[in-house]
Amino acid sequence: ETGVTQTPRHLVMGMTNKKSLKCEQHLGHNAMYWYKQSAKKPLELMFVYNFKEQTENNSVPSRFSPECPNSSHLFLHLHTLQPEDSALYLCASSQVFRGKAGNTIYFGEGSWLTVV
């Protein structure tokens, strides 16, 4: 597999459910991201991980819980979500080189989440 892969592609969950989104990057990058994309809104950065360490939490509600066990894998654990959390959740990766941020970012296909 190449690039950034996300599973599942589609998820429907109730407000009391617990589910997880999974992301794996095959690009050898060391920074990974979660973005949220809602209808007719720009991309919203949620979390950033550099070398497995979380470096950014963009005031995301605690019902979203990220996990980054290594530089290639990223999870987003979901619990007690609200209908307004329905959106496309995008994982992305980039390369940090010699302490400087990457100059491009690559996205997965996204996970379409519907909260009912």
- Please report, to the nearest 10 degrees, the dihedral formed by the alpha carbons of residues 102, 49, 87, 13 taken in order: 150
- Least CB distance to other proteins at residue 103 (A): 4
| 3-state secondary structure (DSSP) of residue 16 | coil
**Chosen residue from 20, 22, 45, 75 binding other proteins by CB under 8 A:** 45
| 106 counts as binding other proteins under rule CB under 8 A | yes
**Backbone angles phi and psi of 99, in degrees to 5:** 75, 0
What residue type is assigned to position 88 of the chain? L
**Chosen residue from 50, 65, 72, 86 binding other proteins by CB under 8 A:** 50
- Least CB distance to other proteins at residue 86 (A): 13
Report the distance separating Cα 11 and Cα 103, nearest Å.
31
- Least CB distance to other proteins at residue 39 (A): 11
Pairing of strands 10-13, 111-115: parallel
| 107 counts as binding other proteins under rule CB under 8 A | yes
- Least CB distance to other proteins at residue 16 (A): 27
| 94 counts as binding other proteins under rule CB under 8 A | yes
